[in-house]
């Protein structure tokens, strides 16, 4: 039972990270039906920004929790600027082009950002300081869950609640929902589509940056390539949950995290990815829209 719980919490932590990235995929898809493959790179840029900020502040000798919060905030702002700019440069000019063009543009952007960071920083793995204070739990739980797992879980939960409030109860949230339903109609009733799309990219980038900072602090190292695999996995999680649906992305992420964790724990880590993708195929066969996705009626 202990072992099961350990794997359960391991999967939950991993799922939380996927969720923070998957939100960006699913929101962007919900609004403009584009799979933003450069999203994993935004997550990576968030982690790099945080590392640079942390180096500077550690040099000034500040408290580690304060540094972590400042670094996370700056990473959020910086990544949001990146997300905003990427949309303006790579996707906006192609908004009325065939969907494939925008997709290729996204892949190009992803490669560009990877190589840009590779050249600007280094190809080496860099150590990322562990700034989450290491507090101990009571004995039966001490082995099951660590402090960084807990911080990741709580942060993810808080982000989810804030995002739900934003979408359900604010003006911009209402505008986003309207746009995702029908872009043309929304613009006809006075919704500023460009602002809505920009906001979507900014929010998605911000959550990805938080994910980047947390996972970097959790595993303790980053390099320019971390965004690729994390991005692919988060994308799979978004599809699993039903792309376009915010709660779906979260659920899909947890399902993927648990699948990987239990497959590793009870079968073999050799088959970690195999099981994750078998699961994806099965879901797509039996529920093509994803777990929580609604099947779309295509306009004729």
Partner 1 sequence: MKTLRNFKVFGFVTLVVLISFIGVSLFTACEKEKPAEVAKKVELEPIKLGVAGAHSGDLASYGLPTVKACELLVNHKNAMNGICGRKIVLLVEDDECKPEKATNTATKLVSQGVDVVVGHICSGATKAALPIYKDAGIVCMSPSATNPPLTQSGDYPNFYRTIASDDAQAKLEVDFALGRLGVKKVAVIHDKGDYGKGLAEFAKGFLEADERAEVVLFEGVTPGAVDYSAVVQKIKNAEADAVIFGGYHPEASKIVMQMRKKRMDIPFISDDGVKDDTFIKVAGEFAEGVYATGPIDTSTNPMAITAIEEHRKVYGEDPGAFFLNAYAAACALLNAVEKTGSTDYDAVSKALQTEFVATPLGILRFDEKGDAIGIGFAMYQVQNGVYVEVE
At residue 206's C-alpha, the angle toward residues 89 and 221, to 5°, is 100
Q: Residue 12 CB, nearest distance to partner 1 (Å)? A: 10
Q: Which tokens hold the place of 157?
A: 């939960």
d(CA 148, CA 131): 9
Which is closer to partner 1, CB of 74 or CB of 230? 230
Return the structure tokens found at 141. Answer: 């739980």
139/296 with CB nearer partner 1: 139
Return the H-helix or E-strand segment holding 237.
helix 226-241
Q: In this complex, which beta carbon is closest to partner 1, that of residue 197 or of residue 222? A: 222
**Least distance from partner 1 to the Cβ atom of residue 10, Å:** 4
Which residue matches tokens 């960084």?
Answer: 148
Residue 45 CB, shortest distance to partner 1, in Å, is 17
Are 253 and 22 spatial neighbours (Cβ–Cβ below 8 Å)? yes
Please report, for residues 55, 95, 196, 197, the alpha-carbon distance to residue 102 in angstroms, rounded to integers and kept in the order given.
Answer: 37, 7, 18, 15
CA separation for the pair 222, 104 (Å, rounded): 26
Least distance between partner 1 and beta carbon 148 (Å): 8
- Separation CA 23–CA 237 (nearest Å): 10
Which lies closer to partner 1 via its Cβ, residue 3 or residue 116? 3
Q: How far apart are CA 200 and CA 84, in angstroms?
A: 9
Minimum gap (Å) between residue 299 Cβ and partner 1: 38
- Tell me whether residue 96 or residue 134 sits nearer to partner 1 (CB atom): 134
Q: What distances in angstroms separate CA 162 from CA 126, 227, 261, one per listed residue? A: 32, 24, 28
Closest distance to partner 1 from the beta carbon of 63 (Å): 19
Q: Which residue is associated with the tokens 């709660």?
A: 247
Residues 6+ apart with CB under 8 A from 107: 37
Q: How far apart are CA 215 and CA 128, in angstroms?
A: 10
| Cα angle: 87, vertex 199, 238; to 5 degrees | 75
Nearer CB in complex with partner 1: 33/273: 273
Nearest approach in angstroms of CB 136 to partner 1 is 10
**Binding residues for partner 1, per CB under 8 A?**
3, 6-7, 10-11, 13-14, 17-18, 124-127, 134, 143, 146, 148, 215, 218-221, 223, 225-226, 228-230, 233, 260-261, 264-265, 268-270, 272-273
Shortest distance, position 142 Cβ to partner 1, whole Å: 8
Of 204 and 211, nearer to partner 1 (C-beta) is 211
Considering the complex, state which of residue 247 and residue 265 has its C-beta at the smaller distance from partner 1. 265
């Amino acid at each position: 039972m202990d072992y099961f719980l350990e794997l359960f919490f391991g999967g939950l932590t991993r799922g939380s990270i996927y969720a923070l990235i998957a939100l960006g995929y699913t929101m962007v898809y919900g609004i403009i039906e584009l799979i933003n493959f450069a999203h994993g790179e935004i997550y990576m840029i968030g982690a790099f920004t945080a590392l640079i900020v942390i180096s500077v502040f550690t040099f000034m000798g500040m408290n580690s929790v304060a540094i972590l919060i400042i670094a996370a905030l700056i990473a959020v702002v910086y990544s949001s600027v990146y997300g905003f700019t990427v949309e303006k440069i790579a996707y906006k000019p192609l908004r009325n082009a065939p969907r494939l063009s925008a997709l290729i543009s996204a892949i190009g952007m992803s490669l560009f950002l990877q190589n840009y960071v590779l050249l600007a920083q280094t190809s080496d793995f860099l150590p990322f300081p562990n700034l989450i204070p290491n507090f101990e739990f009571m004995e039966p739980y001490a082995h099951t869950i660590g402090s960084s797992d807990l911080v990741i879980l709580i942060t993810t939960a808080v982000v989810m609640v804030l995002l739900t409030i934003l979408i359900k109860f604010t003006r911009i949230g209402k505008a986003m929902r309207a746009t995702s339903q029908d872009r043309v109609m929304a613009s006809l009733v006075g919704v500023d589509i460009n602002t809505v799309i920009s906001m979507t990219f900014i929010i998605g980038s911000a959550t990805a940056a938080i994910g980047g900072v947390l996972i970097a602090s959790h595993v303790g190292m980053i390099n320019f390539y971390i965004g690729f695999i994390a991005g692919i996995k988060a994308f799979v999680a978004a599809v699993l949950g039903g792309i376009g649906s915010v709660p779906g992305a979260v659920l899909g992420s947890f399902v993927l995290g648990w699948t990987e964790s239990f497959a590793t724990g009870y079968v073999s880590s050799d088959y970690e990815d195999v099981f994750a993708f078998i699961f994806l195929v099965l879901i797509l066969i039996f529920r093509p829209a994803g777990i929580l996705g609604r099947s779309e009626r295509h306009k004729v």
